[in-house]
Structure 1
Amino acid sequence: MRRLPATVITGFLGAGKTSLVRHLIEQAAGRRLALIVNEFGDVGVDGGLLAACGAPSCRPGDIIELANGCLCCTVADEFLPTMQALLERPEPPDHILIETSGLALPKPLVTAFRWPEIRSRVTVDGVIAVVDGAAFATGRFTSTPEQMARPDHDNPLEEVFTDQLATADIVLLNKVDLLDPATLAEVRGRLAAAVRPGVHLLETTHGAVDARVVLGLNAAVEEDLAARPTHHDAGEPHQHDDFESFAVTLPELTDPEALEARLRATIAAHDILRLKGFVAIAGRPARAVIQAAGPRLERYFDRMWGENEPRAGQLVVIGCRGLDRAAITRQIQGAAA
């Protein structure tokens, strides 16, 4: 019996995983897709963005959100029951896309495909790692020689990032439109040196790639894990305690530009890794999405507000452990006045 293919999409916070998934949905070509979207924190955002795309190949019931934790640490409690429920549907999907949290390690998730309950029915078609080219160029995921020489050196961002690369079959160097030619060449060279031999490196903007390139790899990754060594193979625990997340609520805005200015200042002052969510703008019938990865921020409309939907905003803040939640909340909510 043919096994159902599943593609794992990994990549650090804000790399462009959700944009990639939306492009793949739009290119489904009649295939029924199911999406498992995992987010770090209690509040899910990406699932709502994907549901708003309205593609017939992926209906709202085909999008499953798993929030409040990374799948790499909750495979037994959340992933296995979710997969079993998908497989038992009267009309199971033709392909499963799994968008992991930006802080998740893909290898423990792929290992779960070896479990007897799903091994005979599903295979990992491939692991796609999305890299924020602009963030990588600034050294966001690498340690300096001086830092590495310290006996107490610890860089959780680097560990997560390199483990994601190590498991990949294809690496998408995303946001290349933000890089000049010289920087792009330098970044591409560094990435090529960091991945396993044979891993394809593709350049993308806004996660746009031909679905035929990244789906249908037939890699059977769950049978090939020994060839994908990572930092955590020796049993070193993945410390989610290094990161934290919380949500900030906002009333309807009258001055979204003032909010954006305050958000940029807040991100810089508190070294916020990721900020995303929705806001309501007075006089505008559509919901506005706010996305920020590091210092870069964008705002756009994704769908109309529902007739009985509260016109209130909510932004999810993610950063390293020790965020001053009270100060960040005051700054953001003060900008919403």
Structure 2
Amino acid sequence: MRLTVISGFLGSGKTTLLRRLLRMSGELRLGVIVNDMSELEVDGDLLRDPENLNEARGNFASIQAGSISGTQRPAFAAVLDAWQGRDDLDHIVIETSGSTHPWPLVEEISQRPGLTLDTFATLIDAKAFMEDFGGGRLIRELSHPQAPLMLAQIQLAGVILLTKTEQLPPPSLQLIATHLSALNPQASLYAVNYGRISPEKLLGTRSFDLEKARQIAAQWPALTENAAQAGELGSTVIDDPRPLYPRRLWTLFRERLGTGIHRSKGFIWLASRDRDVLLWNQAAGSVGMELTAYWKAALVTNPDGKLVPEEIALLQEQLQGAHPVFGDRRCELTVIGPERDRAVFVPELQECFCTDEEIAHWRSGGSFDDPWPKSLLRV
């Protein structure tokens, strides 16, 4: 069975790409393994489909709380062992966490005769690559703390996907392309916005070169599991039922984010938008929110008058045991970065939650200063 690995640094757009790939794969029977270094499962929740893609159907595995190139490598190996002999899957797609070093994955897959690594694709956030890595110069000079990791992900790739290119002018994109070509002249390079790419460029390309990967791993000890630098990045999970005050959250991420917080993601709610389940997505200096669902606690009040009594009764049953004030609403976020940066930033993020007085104001129907865009993309 053939496999495709979707790699890339934190926030490069791997989950967005995979979600679109799943919709466009037609009759191809795909198995999906997704990895999240945090204990909080975000990517798995976004990809899991109760009808077509889930653990019960045996075509989906979510591995979290560690990288599959490090502490969760045994869990990854166990999934590969269980899936390698199956005839009900045509292709396996693996989405790595942003901190995953590629060589241990390649090594694990190559040890199994029933599996063939077909395509290794690496996504690169063009805007972050330009701002944080000098368009690739700091990677080539190895003068950035994450340079060995990104170098490994780039050099082992047969396909490189440059995302968020619409945020940069043509000269910057040309500079990035020049550096990437120097780092990996054999790779196919595509610009991809919002995950739009033909499945044929990721599935069945036969572009992965195992011998080349072995040579790279031998040249760079940092690519091996023993020398992996994933420990430099850690995660902190915030789980709180209270709403976030929209203006304080805006100010924190727009003015006090700092370069050390590489990534934060999860599901939140704002005091000004207590109906919306919001997908929070921050990568480097890019911050966004998307509407993903509605809270049951908001729907049970039947604000639009569209629910029949039976539907309201079902929602009330589902809310039994929920928080007496907030219902099923809660904020679940993971913040990723070095420990020293998280130690400063996370307490400031926790101060963005509403105080008792502000919660009382919310319960009384009060308004809140909300600078976030009024119209949000629906996931």
Q: TM-score range by the shorter chain?
A: 0.7 to 0.9
Match of 1:313 in 2: 331
Q: Measured at CA, do residues 131 and 234 of structure 1 come closer, stay the same or move farther in structure 2, by a change above 3 Å?
A: closer
Q: Point out the more displaced range, 243-252 or 100-109.
A: 243-252
Q: Please identify, of 276-285 and 201-210, the stretch whose mean Cα deviation from structure 2 is larger.
A: 276-285
| Matched-pair contact (CA < 8 Å) for 2:8–2:123 | yes
Query: Unaligned 5+ residue runs, structure 2?
Result: 297-317, 323-327, 355-379
The answer to whether the Cα contact below 8 Å between 2:160 and 2:188 also exists between their aligned partners in 1 is: yes
Structure-2 change in CA distance of 1:280 and 1:226 (3 Å):
same
Alignment of 1:214 with 2:202, yes or no, is: yes
2:154 counterpart of 1:159? no
Residues 63 and 259 of structure 1, relative CA distance in 2, 3 Å threshold: farther
Give the match for residue 253 of structure 2.
263
The residue that corresponds to 2:192 in the other structure is: 204
Work out the CA distance in 2 between the residues paired with 1:7 and 1:98.
6
Distance 1:168 1:57, change over 3 A: farther
1:25 aligns with 22
**What pairs up with 1:233-244 in 2 under 5 angstroms?**
237-244=227-234
Matches within 5 A, 1:29-68: 29-51=26-48, 54=49, 57-59=52-54, 61=56, 62-68=59-65
Instruction: Decide whether aligned partners of structure 1 residues 57 and 192 sit closer, same or farther in structure 2, where only a CA change above 3 A counts.
Output: farther
Shift of 1:281: 3.8
Q: Secondary structure at the match of 2:97?
A: coil
- 1:33–1:57 contact (8 Å) kept in structure 2: no
CA-to-aligned-CA distance 1:254-313 (integer Å, 9 cap, x gap): 643542332333422x62111111113455444210100111100011234464473111
Determine whether 1:246 maps to 2:236. Answer: yes
Q: Would the aligned equivalents of 1:123 and 1:220 in 2 still touch at CA under 8 Å?
A: no
> How many Å apart are 1:76 and its aligned residue?
4.9
* Matches of 2:294 and 2:347, distance apart in 1: 28
For the pair shown, which has the larger CA radius of gyration, 1 or 2? 2
Match of residue 11 from structure 1: 8
SS of residue matched to 2:40: coil
Is the counterpart of residue 335 in structure 1 residue 352 in structure 2? yes
Q: Which residue of 2 aligns with 1:275?
A: 264
Answering whether residue 124 of structure 2 is matched by residue 131 of structure 1, we say: yes
Cα distance in 1, alignment partners of residues 170 and 114 from structure 2: 45
CA-CA distance at 1:48 after TM superposition: 0.9
CA contact (8 A) 1:8 1:98 kept: yes
Q: CA RMSD in A?
A: 2.8
TM-score, structure 1 as length reference: 0.85
Number of the residue aligned with 1:173: 162
Question: Relative to 1, partners in 2 of residues 1:66 and 1:138: Cα closer, same or farther, differing over 3 Å?
Answer: same
- How far off its partner does 1:183 sit? 1.3
Shift of 1:59: 3.9
Q: Secondary structure at the match of 1:69?
A: coil
Deviations 1:3-37 (A, max 9, x none): x1111111111111111111111111012222111
Structure 2 residue 94 is the aligned partner of structure 1 residue 98: yes
Counterpart of 1:77 in structure 2 is 74
Q: CA deviation at 1:69?
A: 1.5
Structure 2 residue matching 1:297: 3-state secondary structure: strand
Partner of 2:291: 301
Change (3 A) 1:75 1:5: farther
- Give the partner amino acid of 1:225: A
Distance 1:222 1:75 in 2: 23
Higher mean C-alpha deviation, range 13-22 or range 279-288: 279-288
Counterpart contact for 1:126–1:219, Cα < 8 Å = yes
- The residue number in structure 2 matching 1:114 is 110
Say if 1:217 and 1:284 are closer, same or farther in 2 by CA, change over 3 A.
Answer: same
Structure 2 CA distance for aligned equivalents of residues 38 and 44 of structure 1: 9
Percentage of pairs with the same residue: 26
TM-score for the superposition, normalised by structure 2:
0.76
Q: Secondary structure at the match of 2:238?
A: strand
Q: Would the alpha carbon gap of residues 238 and 14 (structure 1) be closer, same or farther in structure 2, given more than 3 Å must change? A: same
Partners of 1:7 and 1:232 lie apart in 2 by: 24
Note the alpha carbon deviations across 1:26-75, whole angstroms, 9 max, x for none. Answer: 11101222211111222221111112xx4965346433111122111246
